[in-house]
């Protein structure tokens, strides 16, 4: 059974469109959905930040703060599986905006995590801007 599961997982990754992450598309999505709070340069200083009780964090040092880029956590914050209270209410859940065919991508643990292609692209952009 373990061999069958391993083979199926390998096939999923081998044929998954998640291999073609597009950080440029991710930048466009970031500017449309995230920059208002996190800022154009992803430093947590967007135009809505002063109105929030808890300031949005910089997204440029996620890998540094967590020891490595927290792929699973980022995906689940964006799609709403891991809600975050930011200004008296949850961070907007963008999962419905990014719906589409689910693809597998590797979490930082090496385990597959299913998400939509737009979220894969957004994560690719966030990985690219790490300092």
Q: pTM of the prediction?
A: 0.78
pLDDT in tens, 15-43: 444 446 899 999 999 999 999 999 999 99
d(CA 43, CA 30): 13
The reported pLDDT for the residue numbered 99 is: 80
**Beta pairing partners, 106:** 112
The one-character DSSP state at 96 is: G
pLDDT in tens, 59-118: 999 999 999 999 999 999 888 887 766 545 556 767 777 787 889 999 999 999 999 999
Q: What are the C-alpha distances in Å from 124 to residues 14, 21, 52?
A: 18, 6, 27
The reported pLDDT for the residue numbered 6 is: 44
- The average pLDDT across 43-47 equals 96
The reported pLDDT for the residue numbered 89 is: 56
What domains sit in the chain, N to C, each tagged with a CATH number?
Answer: 23-128 (1.10.760)
Give the contacts of 42 (CB within 8 A, at least 6 positions apart): 30, 34, 35, 58, 59, 60, 126, 129
């Amino acid at each position: 059974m373990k061999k069958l599961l391993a083979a199926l997982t390998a096939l999923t990754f081998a044929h998954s469109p998640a291999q073609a992450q597009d950080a440029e598309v991710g930048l466009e999505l970031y500017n449309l959905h995230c920059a208002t709070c996190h800022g154009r340069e992803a430093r947590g200083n967007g135009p809505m930040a002063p109105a929030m009780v808890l300031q949005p964090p910089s997204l440029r040092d996620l890998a540094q703060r967590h020891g490595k880029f927290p792929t699973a956590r980022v995906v689940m914050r964006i799609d709403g599986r891991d809600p975050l209270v930011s200004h008296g209410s949850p961070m907007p859940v963008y999962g419905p905006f990014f719906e589409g065919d689910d693809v597998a991508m590797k979490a930082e643990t090496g385990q597959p995590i299913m998400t939509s292609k737009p979220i894969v692209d957004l994560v690719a952009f966030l990985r690219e801007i790490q300092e």
